[in-house]
């Protein structure tokens, strides 16, 4: 009995130690994120990539130049910090005055570029990095073995986090930093170079991430994927601690690492999702996080359809819509591969459903993959296990996703801004966990060999042409529902809420109820797209419900044009084309996607369709100037197209 107790105690102690190690890295990365967000108002999604770069710089120094670990602790943060400074000066500086969503999308694109480049060079396999000789060995404590290097990581990270907090909160330099973000004009009056101060702050934040990467290299293998695997967890840690709260990031990082370690001991399967469960609970009870001073949901305008100001060019929409419809009808007969076209239609519907939420309701969901994935799995189970007909399977997909959307909405709809996005991400990770663990989902293998069945028990969908026109019909029905919703009185109220929710409340509208209805409708249509995808490709996989799928649908919508009806469809076609026709390029596809992300945020915020509409409207105005004068106010509005921040008025094509 005592031997069994000793084994359990040793296992428990080991997991707590692992939790403290993970918590050390969570705290260091969260600290950098909190500094960048708290002082610069940038949601830095590239933080994981900087963490990965720090590890690779250390590995490169050791294997190419023979420079050891102790020097890498200094050289790697300086190198990555310098890269961060260049990125800040060239790109991030251009989105400081815009809504948080622009910074998030820009840094997400940068992370794709960096990760894609490293994957292209080093592949997905990990590279070993040895522990420095001075820290080899371990101390036996009777109930556990304590490696010296892990003790060093815990002590060093704790000391670094506390000293950073002290500098920012208790010194004159920290006071300058805080003042520069709150009132830059006043700080400039005292002769302080505010842009340089902000630039160095960003460089210091990413240098902290790189330092964490160097310290993680001997513990984990150095891999291009190590940043993307940890950054979502770190975001959850920052949100739990309170966005911008430095001490909150440190305390939450260490505590959640221990919670994760304990979960691995008592329920190993839940260790990958426990932090997201904690995040959802904390935000329900305390929306600003445990140490947050301000509820951003109350001070940040919602991510409304007014991401850009678009001209109402119905001519462009009418002819472009007709052209896409004709192309879809004749596609199988003009050499377009039906599988490609069906995939494009499914994702066009998915992107349009997502756009209904962000483009018109003003809600940025980062968990829409959950609805798409639930629809995909529900359709696969209904067709393969229950043997129902395809139309019934799609009804089940819609119902299942709508139910999940209702649950998500009731939890998240009271939040706005970055908190809403993080809540939906956390809930989406719970769905991903269930898809991994539940036996009826097939686990990591997914559902394969899903039969297409017979439509109404009569029309066999096994022939590709039959399946193609059925998917076309389903997509058109979903898009028509979105069209009617946007152009109905409900849609006009929805747009009013997205543009100025306080004003809508003052007019007597129950905005939460209306946003909840829009959320559920968007989820249901995303489930319809997922169900159709499973019907087409006869497989439902974990990629359908992974958070990366949410990133893809954001990119599709951004490329085509947020707040336009046809933009997401065009964006989906472009993205599917890139993935399909450039697949032979390997990881360069990820780099191309990241470049498109960055270009859209910095140069083409209107997207392809929005930009075309604005161009047509501008030329129409110029041609009418000889007969009518819109006045200086109209000219000023036209000149500012594509540059207004979230919360300004938008029009719908």
- Is 301 a residue whose pLDDT tops 50? no
Pairing of strands 454-455, 459-460: antiparallel
- The pLDDT of residue 137: 87
Report the alpha-carbon distance of residue 175 to residue 183 in Å, rounded: 12
- State the burial class of residue 377 (Cβ atoms within 10 Å of its Cβ: 0-12, 13-18, 19+): buried
Domain residue spans of the chain: 12-294, 321-547
Report the alpha-carbon distance of residue 21 to residue 615 in Å, rounded: 55
pLDDT tens-place string over residues 68-90: 999 999 999 999 999 999 999 99
Q: What is the mean pLDDT of the chain?
A: 84
Buried b (16+ CB within 10 A) or exposed e, 336-368: eebebbbbbbbbbbbbbbbbbbbbbbbbbbbbb
Torsion of CA 351, 357, 358, 361, to 10 degrees: 150
Average pLDDT over residues 225-229: 85
* Cβ contact 54:213 at 8 Å: yes
Q: Smallest Cα–Cα separation from 572: which of 294, 267, 353, 319? A: 353
390-412 and 417-437 are packed helices; what angle lies between their axes, rounded to 10 degrees? 130
Report the alpha-carbon distance of residue 352 to residue 153 in Å, rounded: 47
pLDDT tens-place string over residues 376-396: 999 999 999 999 999 999 999
SS3 540: strand
Torsion of CA 585, 588, 594, 600, to 10 degrees: -50
- The pLDDT of residue 314: 62
Q: Smallest Cα–Cα separation from 339: which of 471, 452, 453, 447? A: 471
Phi then psi for residue 494, to 5 deg, are: -60, -45
The single-letter DSSP state of residue 460 is E
User: What CATH number should be reported for the domain whose range is 12-294?
Assistant: 1.10.3470
Tell me which range, 62-66, 506-510, 578-582, is most confidently predicted by mean pLDDT: 62-66
DSSP string across 108-148 = HHHHHHHHHHHHHHH-SS-B--PPPGGG-SEEE-SS-EEEH
Report the alpha-carbon distance of residue 432 to residue 327 in Å, rounded: 36
Q: Smallest Cα–Cα separation from 164: which of 31, 39, 33, 25? A: 31
- Is 97 a residue whose pLDDT tops 60? yes
Report the alpha-carbon distance of residue 313 to residue 617 in Å, rounded: 6
- The pLDDT of residue 302: 37
* Cβ contact 110:595 at 8 Å: no
Average pLDDT over residues 51-69: 94
What pTM was computed for the model?
Answer: 0.83
């Amino acid at each position: 009995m005592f031997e069994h107790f000793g084994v359990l105690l040793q296992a428990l102690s080991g997991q707590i130690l692992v939790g403290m190690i993970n918590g050390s890295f969570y705290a260091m990365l969260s600290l950098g994120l909190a500094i960048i967000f708290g002082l610069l108002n940038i949601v830095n999604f590239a933080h994981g990539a900087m963490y990965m770069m720090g590890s690779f710089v250390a590995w490169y120094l050791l294997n190419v130049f023979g420079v050891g670990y102790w020097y890498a602790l200094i050289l790697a943060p300086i190198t990555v910090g310098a890269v961060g400074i260049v990125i800040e000066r060239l790109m991030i500086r251009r989105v400081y005055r815009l809504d948080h969503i622009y910074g998030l999308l820009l840094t997400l694109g940068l992370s794709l570029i960096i990760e894609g480049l490293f994957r292209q060079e080093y592949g997905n396999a990990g590279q070993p990095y040895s522990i420095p000789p001075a820290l080899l060995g371990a101390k036996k404590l009777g109930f556990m073995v304590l490696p010296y290097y892990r003790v060093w990581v815990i002590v060093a990270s704790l000391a670094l986090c506390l000293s950073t907090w002290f500098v920012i909160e208790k010194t004159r330099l920290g006071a300058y930093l805080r003042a520069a973000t709150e009132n830059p004009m006043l700080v400039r009056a005292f002769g302080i170079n505010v842009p340089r101060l902000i630039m160095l702050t960003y460089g210091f934040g990413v240098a902290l991430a790189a330092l964490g990467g160097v310290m993680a290299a001997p513990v984990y293998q150095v891999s291009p994927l190590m940043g993307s695997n940890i950054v979502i967890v770190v975001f959850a840690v920052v949100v739990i601690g309170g966005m911008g709260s430095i001490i909150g990031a440190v305390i939450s990082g260490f505590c959640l690492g221990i919670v994760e370690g304990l979960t691995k001991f008592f329920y190993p399967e839940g260790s990958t999702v426990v932090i997201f469960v904690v995040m959802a609970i904390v935000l329900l009870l305390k929306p600003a996080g445990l140490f947050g001073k301000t509820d951003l949901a109350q001070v940040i305008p919602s991510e409304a359809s007014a991401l850009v100001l678009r001209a109402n060019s119905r001519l462009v929409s009418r002819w472009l819509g007709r052209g896409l419809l004709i192309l879809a009808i004749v596609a199988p007969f003009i050499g377009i591969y039906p599988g490609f076209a069906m995939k494009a239609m499914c994702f066009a519907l998915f992107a349009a459903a997502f756009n209904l939420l962000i483009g018109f309701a003003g809600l940025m969901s980062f968990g829409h993959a959950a609805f798409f994935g639930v629809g995909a799995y529900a359709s696969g189970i209904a067709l393969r296990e229950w043997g129902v007909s395809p139309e019934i399977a799609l009804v089940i997909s819609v119902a299942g996703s709508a139910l999940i959307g209702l649950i998500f909405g009731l939890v998240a709809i009271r939040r706005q801004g970055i908190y809403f996005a993080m809540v939906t991400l956390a809930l989406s990770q719970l769905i991903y966990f269930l898809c991994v663990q539940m036996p009826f989902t097939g686990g990591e293998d997914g559902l394969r060999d899903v039969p297409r069945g017979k439509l109404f028990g009569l029309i066999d969908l096994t022939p590709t042409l039959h399946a193609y026109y059925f998917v076309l019909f389903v997509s058109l029905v979903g898009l028509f529902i979105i069209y009617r919703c946007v152009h109905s009185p409900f849609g006009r109220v929805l747009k009013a809420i997205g543009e100025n929710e306080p004003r809508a409340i003052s007019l007597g509208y129950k905005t939460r109820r209306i946003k909840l209805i829009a959320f559920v409708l968007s989820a249901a249509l995303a489930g319809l797209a997922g169900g159709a995808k499973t019907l087409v490709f006869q497989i439902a996989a974990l990629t359908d419900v992974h958070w990366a799928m949410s990133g893809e649908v954001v990119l599709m919508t951004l490329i085509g044009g947020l707040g336009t009806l046809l933009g997401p469809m065009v964006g989906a076609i472009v993205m599917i084309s890139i993935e399909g026709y450039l697949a032979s390029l390997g990881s360069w596809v990820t780099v191309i996607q990241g470049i498109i992300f960055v270009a859209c945020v910095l140069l083409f915020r209107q997207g392809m369709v929005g930009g075309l509409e604005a161009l047509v409207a501008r030329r129409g105005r110029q041609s009418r100037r000889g007969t009518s004068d819109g006045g200086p106010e109209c000219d000023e509005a036209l000149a500012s197209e594509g540059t207004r921040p979230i919360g300004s008025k938008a029009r719908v094509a």
